[in-house]
Amino acid sequence: MIRHRSHRGQSLVEFALAMPLLIFLLVGVFDLGRAVYGFNAVSNASHAGARVAIVNQDTGDIETVAVGKAVSIPVSSVVPTFHGYCVGCLVDVTVTYQYSAATPLIGDLIGPITITSTTTMPIERVCPDPPDLPKAKCWPRLP
């Protein structure tokens, strides 16, 4: 008489071996999604900062709007660069963010990543006050 052995424990062992890999893959996809969100937020922030810079050359207002548009990410720096102060002259607004993965293993493998976005636009209206004054009155300020 041949005895058939039970294979119920085999499925449990296979599940125990595969589950950590599946969790690691799921968290990796989550980290990738956070990185893509960070890139989009930095791009939107630099675009919003450049839109302010083309009508108001006050660096404080540019930084305030750019940081406000970078929702839920800590922006490292906002750097506006003016190539002259005339209508048609270009202004670059660069926004930088340091991304680090939430997963310890992935974070150790790739380390922190610098995400940077630069938007270039021509100046449409020159601020009537000199740009080095702390309070330029070129457009209505938000309360």
Task: Specify if 72 maps to a domain.
Answer: yes
Does the residue 1 lie in any domain? no
Rounded Cα–Cα distance for residues 29 and 117 (Å): 23
Position 78 confidence tier, pLDDT thresholds 50, 70, 90? very high
Task: Calculate mean pLDDT across residues 97-116.
Answer: 88
- Closest CA relative to residue 73, chosen from 118, 39, 113: 39
Residue 52 lies in a domain: yes
Higher-pLDDT residue of 142 and 45 is 45
- Helices (H) and strands (E) counted in the chain, each on its own, are 3, 3
Total structural domains in the chain? 1
On whether residue 31 sits in a domain, the answer given is: yes
Check pLDDT > 60 for residue 136. no
Q: Would residue 131 count as lying in a domain?
A: no
Task: Please list, in sequence order, all residues whose beta carbon lies within 8 angstroms of the beta carbon of residue 77, skipping any fewer than 6 positions away.
Answer: 94, 95, 96
Distance CA 126, CA 134 (A): 16
pLDDT category, 22, cuts 50, 70, 90? very high
42 domain residue, yes or no: yes
Distance CA 53, CA 90 (A): 10
User: In this structure, is residue 143 part of a structural domain?
Assistant: no
User: Is residue 108 within a helix (H) or strand (E), and if so which, with residue range?
Assistant: helix 104-110
CB atoms under 10 Å from CB of 27, counted, come to: 16
Domain that holds residue 20: 10-122
The answer to whether the pTM exceeds 0.85 is: no
Q: Is residue 91 part of a domain?
A: yes
